[in-house]
Amino acid sequence: MLHLKAPSTKPLPLGNHPFWEFSCDIYKDTKDILLEMQSHHGLNVNAILFCYWFSANYQKVLSKNDIKRVLTTIHKWHQHIIRPLRTLRDSLSKYTYRDSLNAIRQEVLASELMAEKIEQSLMVDLFAKEKCHIKNPSMYQAASCAFRSIKFYCDVLYITLNDQDCDDFIQITHKIFPNMKKENITALGYKILRYSTNPTNKPANLELFK
């Protein structure tokens, strides 16, 4: 398990913190999967990583209400700060004189990363009073909680996961729990992620949670 340090009960500083360190470790090996989830399903990469980090640390499941609280809390920040910075960075890479614009692009990237850290801080601060004293930590329990949190996140957005989606989340979980048998993670992932909990009627507007 990677960087599963006991979370602080104080608001997170803007420097490196356990959730950020965890995210950097996992992101470097799962970047393509996470960005595909972002592009195809509209999932927030930080929210995905938070589901894993919270569940692994606390061995608790983020309920649908917890997920909605997280997404509501970060909504304005993500829409008005992170997305415009991301769009600007992507736009700069399309211009002919890319070398000349590289310095600007690096500045934008640095601002985007700081904005991502702040978004993570907003998430963690919501659960700063949670207790993280697990007497007998279990990787199986932590992985189960992570899958259930991910499932609830997808349920909130009314996303039905196909086999490829399940395989992708299972692959991320392999990276987080390298000492757990792959066949156990795979069986657990399919059991939880393919279980249908969604009602048939979708809400009129999901934009608040994207």
Q: For 131-150, what is the mean pLDDT?
A: 85
Q: What is the pLDDT of residue 207?
A: 56
The predicted-structure confidence for 45-102, as pLDDT tens digits, reads as follows 999 999 999 998 889 999 999 999 999 999 999 999 999 999 998 888 777 666 778 8
- Note the pTM of the prediction, 2 decimals: 0.85
For the cut 60, the answer to whether the pLDDT of residue 210 exceeds it is: no
pLDDT band for 181, please (50, 70, 90 cuts): very high
Q: How far apart are CA 124 and CA 127, in angstroms?
A: 6
What is the Cα–Cα distance from 90 to 96, expressed in whole angstroms? 13
Asked if pLDDT for residue 104 goes beyond 90, the answer is no
Please write down the HEC assignment for all residues of 156-207: HCCCCCCHHHHHHHHHHHHHHCCCCCHHHHHHHHHHHHCCCCCCCCCCCCCH
